[in-house]
């Protein structure tokens, strides 16, 4: 598994929420300024090549759905962050979050 780009991750977040949909269904919840239909279509096909998404064909239309779960990707990203920034130490990561005032849980409530 490889990390997703910001645009790919945005589309995956939508697909994880809606579970399956056509490009127009992916575009609907996106915030303004929305990307072009063709841009979203291209990114979804890239996600399919990367093994994150598959599709069911209805003539010329394709309904897309995730084949990598949000939990699987979250685990991958957290492990990568642990390895890359915290020497694979959960204790070091926990200490970092505990000590960083800008990440205080009160900020996000």
> pTM score, two decimals?
0.83
User: What is the tens place of the pLDDT at every residue in 39-80?
Assistant: 999 999 999 999 999 999 999 999 999 999 999 999 999 999
Reported confidence tier of residue 98, pLDDT bands at 50, 70, 90: confident
Domain ranges of the chain: 6-66, 70-99
Domain 6-66 has CATH 1.10.10.10: yes
Block residue for tokens 């096909």: 45
Reported confidence tier of residue 107, pLDDT bands at 50, 70, 90: low
Which pLDDT value is given to residue 102? 77
């Amino acid at each position: 598994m490889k990390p997703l780009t910001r645009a790919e991750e945005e589309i995956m977040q939508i697909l994880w929420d809606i579970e399956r949909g056509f490009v127009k269904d992916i575009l609907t919840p996106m915030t303004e300024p929305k990307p072009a239909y063709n841009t979203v279509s291209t990114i979804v096909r890239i996600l399919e090549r990367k093994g994150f998404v598959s599709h069911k064909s209805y003539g010329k239309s394709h309904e897309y759905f995730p084949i990598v779960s949000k939990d699987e990707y979250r685990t991958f990203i957290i492990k990568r962050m642990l390895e890359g920034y915290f020497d694979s130490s959960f204790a070091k990561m926990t200490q970092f979050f505990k000590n960083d005032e800008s990440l205080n849980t009160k900020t996000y409530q």
